Every structure is written in structure tokens, then in C-alpha cells.
Structure 1
Amino acid sequence: MTNRDLLLRTARFDKPERIPVRVSLSPTCWSHYPRERLFELLEAHSLLFPWFDRERWRGPRIPPWRRAGLPYLDSWGCEWVTPEDGITGAVTRHPLADWAALETFRPPNPELHDGWGRTDWAAREAGLRRAADAGALVQGSLRHGHSFLTLTYLCGYENALYAMADDDPRLHQVLDVIGRFNAYAVDRYVDSGVEWMGYPEDLGMQVGPMLSPEQFRTFIKPIYERLMAPARDAGCVVHMHSDGDIRDLLDDLLDCGVDVLNVQDLVNGVELLEQRVKGRVCIDVDIDRQRITQFGTPREIDLHIRNVVSRLGGRDGGLMLTHGIYPGAPLENLRAVLDALERYATYWS
């Protein structure tokens, strides 16, 4: 079964041969762990890293907004600063921190920009055609933080929530601009024949969402519904990602038309996800990187991943596993995570 078939059959509850597993290695890891140990780790887990070849590897690619000490101005005019290479930092200058600036604000042209910077749609579409010709999954995605977070980047988090509380008409104006910018990208991807459309945006904090359920329903949910509708109508799998505690938003997110929900395990609760989400949509579980994998033992890590798989999976599919590797975890714990992900990928086979 190809990776494309594996993902599509899992998302559609169509009896995949195993659980799809995706592991991302943060570029920061290469400056925190011995390179040889990372090489050995990747080579020992070929199911997770089939692409890795140390002889051809040329180091991590770090986009300009993740480069330490170099402030970066994105397409919207937001200034980003990060203290460490490879980590997306924070916006330190909001172009609409003063609402009066809205009178002269000029949003980016979606034909030329993707939110981070200039883009070449012809080149992107050529890449999609190559993927299709190779039998790979044809995927598109909005940039991370496409709607609500872009609002906070533009005017600041507190200003955004105050504007929601006041139902400020200028807020609606900005949300409309953001929505139209993103709609162009969605339409362009759909017209190019994507099979899988991503909508990544963090809505949760450590405890609770970043905005109230009522604020989400009033201001953000309508945007999500409009952005997801073209992809759904075209038969695409709609993939939604959010870090953080989004328990209070789950039902509304699923109402938007999500097929695959990428959600963190411990902060939301494995048992809660089993009770409220399992079977309704495919769950793409983001395996803990705060507690057990950082401070637990290899056995505790194995038991945790087994628990996630046994509770949230099934023979029909509907479960994917995702894990992000960042500095801080002992190397023996990283190995335990990767061992368990490979071991339990066939749990339901």
C-alpha cells in the first residue's frame, strides 16, 4: 500500500494496512544533540524516516522567519523575532496595533504572497503536478495561523479580544481581508487538483482555548466554514491542526467540515478524545512532548503510546500518529518514542 493510499484510507475509515505515523525533527535538534547520535536514531527507524540518507543530507533548512537575531517582516507587515534558529518566534511589531492605521493599511496580494513572503504559484502548481505524476498524495495547505492568529499578529492578542468583546466594526473589516486572502489560496489549490487540504492554526493554550467558544462561533467559525467548503465540495480530505487545549471548541470545529483533526493528547485528554471525537472524524494524535516523553521512563513512554493507539484506533482506520522532536528530551526517550511508534503502527493490523 502506497503512502498516499495509506493516508486516504485511514482518513476515510477504509481499513488501512497500518496506522500512518509522521515524525518531524526540529532543526534546533542538530545544535543540541550530537549529530552522529541523531544519524543513528534516524537510520534505526526506517519506517519513520525512509527518506534519510546521511551521505546526501546537507543540514536543516531554516526559513528566514526562524533565524535567530534577524528580525523578519512577513507579507502582512508583522515583524517576527526568534531567539533560536529553527523555532518560530513571536511578533514584536503589529501593523494594526493602533486601529487608526487601518485607514492606510494595504494587505498583501494573494497572487504574489502566501503570508510569510512572496510565492510563485506557477512553481507550486508544477510541484503538485509532479506529485500526482509520481503517485504521491497531492496536498495543499494554508500557512500556519491563517485566520485567528493572523488577526492577533496584525493587531495584537489583547486588542483582538477587546475588539471581539466590543464587536468593533473594524474587526469585521480585518477579518474579511484575512478571509479573502486565504480563500484565494484555497481556490487555487482546489483548482490544481489537491486531494488533501490543510488548515493549521493553534487555538489552544495550556488550559483552555485562546478565545471563548462564543467568540469562536461568532467571528472565526464562519471563516473556517467558508474556507473549508470549496475543499469539501471538491472531495478533498480536510485536515485541521491545532495545538493546545481545544476541548471547548471540538464540536464547533467538527461542524466546520473537518475530516482529520490533529490534536494534542495529554492537554486534551486521551479518554475525552475517545468519548467525544473517536469515530466522528479521523484523529491525528500529536503525541506528548511536554511530560512523559520529556521526563518519563522509556517504559512509561511505551505504555502511553500503546494506550493512545488502543483507545483511539480501530481496524477500520481513523487514527494517525504525529510526533515533533524538540531539544530537551533525553536521547533514550527519543529512541523509546520512535520504537513505540513503529511497534504500534501495526497494532490494529
Structure 2
Amino acid sequence: MRTRRMMTREENYFRTVEFRNPAWIPVSVSLMPATWKKYREDLEEIVIRHPLIFGEYKKGSRNFDEFRGLYREGTHTDEWGCVWKNIRGGLDAIVVHHPLSSWDAFESYTPPEPGEGLPHGFMFQRLYYLRGFENLMMDFVDEPPQLHRLIDMVLSYNLAVVRKWVARKPKMVHFGDDLGMQDRLPMSPEHFRKYLKPCYSQIFGMCRDAGIHVYFHSDGHILEVIDDLIECGVTVINPQIRANTLDGLVEVCKGKVCVNLDLDRQLFPFCTPKDIDEHIREAVVKLGSKQGGLMLVAECEPDVPLENIEAICQALEKYMFYYS
């Protein structure tokens, strides 16, 4: 009698990415460090109850009060000279000083040597971390001569880092760059295609030419440029459902690119467990298929009640086998 081979998580994941009939929808829950700090052992109990989502978590293995990197309270300066400030440990920091806010500083500015990794905000965001958001938006319109040199400088750094990654021959490389605002792009699609798309095309193309999948995360509304990102080589996109709408993502993404759908984190603090179940079911029914192409992720900030975190986990475990 033949025994049925169990599919590994990795095999199922790449079957999902490649639309090759996965056994289940990959799901995950992201718990912010501030959420751990607030709920502590009570949150740990939820994690332990849901090994399908969190794996085999060992009780007591997390320091609830330890924050690393940009999650630490206070200020620090990164390798580009951008000063970050965090007013509440466990949540994200923001850039409060931009070393190239004046073009007068550009000629004497020296970028860092390429490191081993790319932080979140590697291209578009790095440009406005250096220049300041309003300055960069004006640059896209006014097109000062320094702008193209700045873009080339950041692009060259990114290409050097990605070249190191490609040499290691991973199956996938992850990128994150928040391109959108709550309900629109901060720039016109034409400006995106002029200034940013050529950069992404080179960076992602290097991966795709080596047979490596490209995972791309962006917060905010990006519907108008998703086709461009796919054209640049993105094979998994991680968009926010509220900023783009479920129907909008179905129209632009379904069957064309694998979606790791960022569920509605602005809903979770205020809704009922029943609302959560309906929200996740609708996403699975509309955007999923037996062939694959859908993953689900729920990020929980400290304003999400424990009851709703539990409801998120239960609904994800319920619907991850919807097409099985």
C-alpha cells in the first residue's frame, strides 16, 4: 500500500508562488514588539495554541521588553547619515534628519560601502530619507540635475548588495519599499515609471535572470503600478487590502502574480471576531484559487484586543484549507 507523502512548508510555499496547486494557503501573523510588551504571557498562550501559524513556540523563549534595531526608543544615525527617532519602543521609528535636505551638501556627500543586506525602504524611501519627502516630490517635478545622480548613487549601492545575494543562489529575495499613501500614490504613475521603474527593473531583473523569485512589499495604495512591478520581475507582491481594496487587487493581480495579502490591520482593533471571520473568508473566496497564488498575513499592533488576535488565528487556520 502506497503512503501519501506529506508536503513540506517550503514546497507548499513555492507551489503557491508558482500556481502549482498547493495543499493549503500559507498564512502568518506578525506580532509587533510593542504588542508582545503589552500582552506578554497572555499573547504567548495564543501563540502556543496555534502551531499551524507560529510553529513550535517554546514558552518563555521571548524577552517581552527587549527591542532591537529601529524598534528601540531614542535616536540613532544609520550608515547613510539619516537620523531616526523612535518615541515609543516596540513600534517603528521615523527619519527626522535628512543629510541631503539641501543640494549644497550633495557634492561632498559619500555613500556607505555596500553591506550585506538591504533595509526596508531600499530605493524610493531611501531617496526621501536622504532628501526629505517634500523635497523629493518637488524634485520629481522640477528635475534638478542632481536628482538623476542621487538616484544612480542609491541604485548602484542596491545593485552591489543584490549581486552578493544572487551569488548565494537563494530561491527568493525579499524587498520592501513603501510606495503608496492611504488612498493614492504620492507621485503620478508617469513619475514612477520615469524615476523608479528603471531602478526596480535592474534590481529585480538581476534576480530573475538567475532564476530567483522576487518578493516585494509595499504599504499604501499601489494599484496603478502593480502591472509595472510585475513587468520589473516581481513574482510575489505584499499589498495592503484596505489601501488597495479587495476588488481592486482581484482585478489587477489575480492569476498574474502571487499575492501575500496584508489583511486589514485598521479593522482589527475595532471589529468583532465575526467580522474577522467574514473578512478573511471574503479574501480567500475572491482572491484565492485551487491553483494557488494567494497567501495571507495579519499584522497585529498593540491596539488589537487579545480576543481579536485569537479570532484572527482561528479564522486563518479555518480558511487556509478552503481549496484543499
**TM-score normalised by L of structure 1:** 0.88
Match of 1:50 in 2: 55
- Once the two structures are overlaid, the 10-residue window that deviates more, 267-276 or 308-317, is 267-276
State the SS of the aligned residue for 2:53. coil
One-letter amino acid of the structure 2 residue matched with residue 215 of structure 1: H
Match of 2:130 among 139, 154, 163: 154
Measured in 2, the distance between the counterparts of 1:255 and 1:86 equals 36
Match of 2:213 in 1: 237
Match of 1:10 in 2: 16
Deviation per CA, 1:187-207: give whole Å up to 9, x if none: 100101111011211111111
Q: Does the CA contact (< 8 Å) of 2:253 and 2:259 recur in 1? A: yes
Measured in 1, the distance between the counterparts of 2:112 and 2:66 equals 25
Match of 1:305 in 2: 280
Task: Establish whether residue 205 from structure 1 lines up as the match of residue 210 from structure 2.
Answer: no
Q: Percent identity between the aligned chains?
A: 40
Q: Does the CA contact (< 8 Å) of 2:99 and 2:131 recur in 1? A: yes
Deviation at 1:169, TM superposition (A): 1.5
Measured in 1, the distance between the counterparts of 2:288 and 2:8 equals 20
Match of 1:316 in 2: 291
Match of 2:4 in 1: none
Deviation per CA, 1:305-326: give whole Å up to 9, x if none: 0000011111111001111111
- Once the two structures are overlaid, the 10-residue window that deviates more, 249-258 or 235-244, is 249-258
Q: Does the CA contact (< 8 Å) of 2:37 and 2:64 recur in 1? A: no
Match of 1:134 in 2: none
Task: Establish whether residue 340 from structure 1 lines up as the match of residue 324 from structure 2.
Answer: no
Measured in 1, the distance between the counterparts of 2:152 and 2:104 equals 17
Deviation at 1:60, TM superposition (A): 6.2
Task: Go from structure 1 to structure 2 and tell me whether the alpha carbon gap of 1:323 and 1:172 turns closer, same or farther (over 3 Å shift).
Answer: same
Deviation per CA, 1:282-319: give whole Å up to 9, x if none: 1110011102x121111111001000001111111100
One-letter amino acid of the structure 2 residue matched with residue 77 of structure 1: G
Deviation at 1:249, TM superposition (A): 1.7
Measured in 2, the distance between the counterparts of 1:153 and 1:59 equals 30
Task: Establish whether residue 192 from structure 1 lines up as the match of residue 152 from structure 2.
Answer: no
Taking only aligned residues, the RMSD between alpha carbons, in angstroms, comes to 1.3
Match of 1:106 among 107, 110, 115: 110
One-letter amino acid of the structure 1 residue matched with residue 106 of structure 2: L
Unaligned runs of 5+ in 2: 1-6
Task: Go from structure 1 to structure 2 and tell me whether the alpha carbon gap of 1:208 and 1:103 turns closer, same or farther (over 3 Å shift).
Answer: same
Measured in 1, the distance between the counterparts of 2:104 and 2:70 equals 27
Task: Go from structure 1 to structure 2 and tell me whether the alpha carbon gap of 1:337 and 1:217 turns closer, same or farther (over 3 Å shift).
Answer: same
Deviation at 1:161, TM superposition (A): 1.1
Q: Counterparts of 1:1-349 in structure 2 under 5 Å?
A: 1-33=7-39, 35-59=40-64, 62-68=67-73, 70-110=74-114, 113=115, 121=116, 142-291=118-267, 293-349=268-324
Deviation per CA, 1:226-267: give whole Å up to 9, x if none: 000111011111111101111222222222111111011122
Deviation at 1:30, TM superposition (A): 2.3
State the SS of the aligned residue for 1:48. helix
State the SS of the aligned residue for 2:229. helix
One-letter amino acid of the structure 1 residue matched with residue 290 of structure 2: R
- Once the two structures are overlaid, the 10-residue window that deviates more, 248-257 or 157-166, is 248-257
Deviation per CA, 1:96-133: give whole Å up to 9, x if none: 011010011010000xx3xxxxxxx5xxxxxxxxxxxx
Q: Give the aligned length.
A: 318
Q: Does the CA contact (< 8 Å) of 1:64 and 1:72 recur in 2? A: no
Deviation at 1:5, TM superposition (A): 0.9
Deviation at 1:58, TM superposition (A): 3.6
Q: Does the CA contact (< 8 Å) of 2:48 and 2:56 recur in 1? A: no
Q: Does the CA contact (< 8 Å) of 2:289 and 2:323 recur in 1? A: yes
Measured in 2, the distance between the counterparts of 1:300 and 1:309 equals 14
Q: Does the CA contact (< 8 Å) of 1:96 and 1:102 recur in 2? A: yes
Q: Does the CA contact (< 8 Å) of 1:261 and 1:281 recur in 2? A: yes
Measured in 1, the distance between the counterparts of 2:288 and 2:226 equals 18
One-letter amino acid of the structure 2 residue matched with residue 195 of structure 1: K
Measured in 2, the distance between the counterparts of 1:2 and 1:142 equals 28
Measured in 2, the distance between the counterparts of 1:160 and 1:244 equals 18
